[in-house]
Amino acid sequence: MRIPREHRLGWLLCAPAVLAMAAVTAYPVLAAVRLSLYRYDLRFPDARRFVGLHNYLTVLTSAVWWKAVAATLVITLTSVSVELVLGMALALVMHRALVGRRTVRTAVLVPYAVVTVVAALAWRFAFNPTTGFVQGLGILDRPWLSVSWSAFTIIILTEIWKTTPFMALLLLAGLALVPGDALRAARVDGASRAQRFFRVTLPLMKPAILVALLFRTVDALRIFDTVFVQTRGALGTQPVSLVGYDTLLVSLNLGLGSAVSVLIFVLVTGAAVAIVRGMGGALPEASFR
């Protein structure tokens, strides 16, 4: 079959972008995959040799990895679900705001504009047993970052505080797509506020919810800086990215570290595919005309 000229021209025009993407994305990923198949420890560079899937076996049979997976999932599931609910509430408020719409939107975005490390430090200081202001609040006086569950709580709170605005903005975009006439029609049809929200607004927002969930889940699964700053992975809070960091950059074990990275890549991709599959089937085909 002949390729039409326009198609060829199209590919030609795309080529520079494709090459650039290949150089900065595909190559490093493939290089990491290759590295992960070698025993390669920078402390013993001469001992480099091909070991097949041995590194993966080591990672997947280690308790450290699985504990990290569990910690990552706890942080991700909790923070993303709380963010979804809070973000939806914020989006509804912003959507309905009649006065000061711009001010509200700007104000809501402030936490998202703060650098993660700074936010994480701020929260760590707030809960510091000697200097933190939280201690002044009476019943909250406890060594927060010295106990596993409360350390988790603070990490998750930091995440929620920081990224709920992002979620809210994505959901707000989705809310704006819900046709006003459909809501008015539902009102005439006798649907209560709650019925209108759950039977009309929410289903019509599914694409936006999907995108928001996807972005935030992928993001949360790779959590690093907040934990690094607040606990440095102590008390069982170590997420998978920190395991990769320690193996790769602290222990300088390139082979094993690459295997961890590849596994994280697989985990994140798997989660993304699951979300798209899980919600994609129920997408409305088209918006209102």
Partner 1 sequence: MATITLKGIGKRFSRGAVAVRNVDLEIHDGELFVLLGPSGCGKSTLLNIIVGLEEPTSGTVSVDGRSMNGVEPGKRNMAMVFQSYAIYPHMSVRENLAFPLRIAGVPAEERERRVAEAAEILELEELLDRRPATLSGGQRQRVAMGRAIVRNPVAFLLDEPLSNLDARLRGQMRAEIARLHRRLGTTTVYVTHDQTEALTLADRMAVLNRGEVQQAGTPREVYGRPANRFVAGFLGSPPMTFMRGERDGDDVVLPLGRATAPGGGSDVEVGVRPEDVREAGSATRASADALPRPGVGQAEAPSDPSALLRFRARVELLEWLGAETYAHVEVEEQDARAEGAGWGRKREDGRPRPEPGPSGERPQRLVARLSPGSPVKEGDVVDLEVEARRLHFFDPDTGARLGDA
Please report the DSSP string for 223-244 in residue order.
Answer: --HHHHHHTTTGGGT--HHHHH
Give the H/E segment covering residue 38: strand 38-39
Q: Closest distance between partner 1 and the C-beta of residue 50, in Å? A: 53
CA atoms within 13 A on the CB side of 85: 5
Chain centroid offset of residue 147 CA? 25
Binding range to partner 1, per CB under 8 A, among 27-35, 48-56, 112-120, 176-184: 176-184
Nearer to partner 1, 103 or 195 (CB): 195
Which string of x and - marks every residue 178-197 that binds partner 1 (by CB under 8 A)? -x-xx-xxxxxxxxx--x--
Nearer to partner 1, 25 or 287 (CB): 287
Phi first, then psi, for residue 112 (nearest 5°) are -70, -25
**CB under 8 Å to 271, separation ≥6 — which residues?**
217, 218, 221
Which string of x and - marks every residue 197-226 that binds partner 1 (by CB under 8 A)? --xx--xx-x--------------------
- Judge contact between 55 and 256, C-beta under 8 A: yes
- Count the site residues for partner 1 by CB under 8 A: 24
Nearer to partner 1, 196 or 216 (CB): 196
Q: Closest distance between partner 1 and the C-beta of residue 168, in Å? A: 23
Q: Closest distance between partner 1 and the C-beta of residue 282, in Å? A: 8
Q: Closest distance between partner 1 and the C-beta of residue 196, in Å? A: 10
Q: Closest distance between partner 1 and the C-beta of residue 192, in Å? A: 8
Q: Closest distance between partner 1 and the C-beta of residue 93, in Å? A: 19
Nearer to partner 1, 106 or 192 (CB): 192
Q: How far apart are the first and last CA of the chain?
A: 38
Q: Closest distance between partner 1 and the C-beta of residue 98, in Å? A: 9
Nearer to partner 1, 185 or 234 (CB): 185
Count other C-beta atoms under 10 Å from residue 192's C-beta.
11
Q: Closest distance between partner 1 and the C-beta of residue 207, in Å? A: 11
- Judge contact between 155 and 75, C-beta under 8 A: yes
Nearer to partner 1, 97 or 185 (CB): 185
Contacts to partner 1 from residues 238-277, by CB under 8 A: none
At 145 the three-state DSSP class reads helix
Q: What is the dihedral of CA 40, 46, 50, 55, to 10 degrees?
A: -30
- Separation between Cα atoms, residue 264 and residue 269, nearest integer Å: 8
- Judge contact between 222 and 163, C-beta under 8 A: no
Choice from 17, 63, 137, 286 touching partner 1 (CB under 8 A) = 286
Nearer to partner 1, 182 or 218 (CB): 182
Residues that bind partner 1 (CB under 8 A): 179, 181-182, 184-192, 195, 199-200, 203-204, 206, 284-289
